[in-house]
Amino acid sequence: MAGRRAAILLSTVVFFAALSFNAAIATPPSFPPGLVRGELIYYNSDHPGGPIGGLQSEIFVIASDGTGKTNLTNNPASDANPAVAPDGSAVAFVSDRTGPGYDLWLMDPDGSNPRQVTTLHSLGFSVYGRPAWSPDSKKIVFSNGVDIMIVNSDGTGLHTIVAGGLNREPAWSPDGSTIAYVSESQNREIWLVDVTGANPRPLVAIPGVAVYQPAWAPDGSKIAFTYDDPVSPSGRDIAVINVDGTGFENITSAYDSADVAPVWFPDGERIAFGSDRGSTTPGVVGGGNIWVMNADGSNPINLTADSLEDADTNPDVTLNKICPPADHSQGQGKFRARCAR
Domain hosting 80: range is 39-339
What is the secondary structure of 222-261 as a DSSP string? EEEEEEE-TT-SSSEEEEEEETTS---EESSTTSSS-EEE
Asked whether residue 232 carries a pLDDT value surpassing 80, the answer given is: no
* Model confidence at 9: pLDDT above 70: no
Is residue 247 one of the residues assigned to a domain? yes
CATH classification at residue 316: 2.120.10.30
Q: For residues 206 and 58, give the distance between their C-alpha atoms in angstroms, rounded to a whole number.
A: 34
Half-sphere exposure of 325 (CA within 13 A, CB side): 11
Chain mean pLDDT for the chain: 79
Q: What is the DSSP string of 142-190?
A: EE-SS-EEEEETTS---EEEE-SS-EEEEEE-TTSSEEEEEE-SSS-EE
- Checking if the pLDDT of 336 tops 50, the result is no
Q: d(Cα 81, Cα 283) in Å, to the nearest integer?
A: 20
Q: Cis peptide before 100, with omega less than 30 degrees from 0? A: yes
Backbone φ and ψ of 179, nearest 5°: -115, 125
Starting at the earlier edge strand, list the strands of the sheet with 270-275. 259-264, 270-275, 289-294, 301-302
Q: DSSP for 8-29, please give it.
A: HHHHHHHHHHHHHHHHHHHSPP
> What average pLDDT score do residues 244-255 get?
93
- Mean pLDDT highest for which of 183-197, 213-227, 228-242? 213-227
Q: Cβ distance 101 to 124 under 8 Å?
A: yes
User: Are the C-beta atoms of 60 and 111 separated by less than 8 Å?
Assistant: no
Kind and range of the H or E run holding 339:
helix 333-339
Report if residue 6 sits inside a domain: no
Q: What percent of the chain has pLDDT over 90?
A: 50
Return the bridge partners of 126, or none.
none
User: What integer is the mean pLDDT of 228-246?
Assistant: 88
Residue 9 lies in a domain: no
- Give the Cα-Cα-Cα angle 221, 226, 228 (nearest 5 degrees): 135
With b for 16 or more beta-carbon neighbours within 10 A and e for fewer, the 30-39 pattern comes to ebbeebbbbb
Return the number of other C-beta atoms located less than 10 Å from residue 284's C-beta.
18
**For 220-242, what is the mean pLDDT?**
89
Count CA within 13 A, CB hemisphere, residue 259: 29
Residue 306 confidence (pLDDT):
59
Mean pLDDT of 133-159: 97
**Residue 257 belongs to some domain of the structure:** yes
Quote the CA–CA distance of 290 and 259 in Å, as a whole number: 10
Strand partners, 137: none
- Under a CB-based contact definition with an 8 Å cutoff, are residues 272 and 317 in contact? yes
Count structural domains, the chain.
1
Would the pLDDT of 200 be above 80?
A: yes
Helices and strands: H and E segment counts in the chain:
2, 24
pLDDT (average), residues 241-257: 93
Q: Quick check: is 212 in a domain? A: yes
Kindly state whether residue 287 falls inside one of the protein's structural domains: yes
Answer whether residue 131 is part of any domain: yes
Question: What DSSP string runs through 294-330?
Answer: ETTS-S-EES-GGGTTSEEEEEEEEE-SSPPPGGG-T
Q: Is 144 part of any domain?
A: yes
Average pLDDT over residues 74-102: 91
Q: What is the pTM of this model?
A: 0.81
Mean pLDDT of 159-170: 94
Mean pLDDT of 193-200: 97
Q: In this predicted model, what pLDDT tens digit does every residue of 283-327 receive, in sequence order?
A: 444 457 899 999 999 999 998 875 545 677 788 887 654 433 333
Indicate whether 143 pLDDT > 70: yes
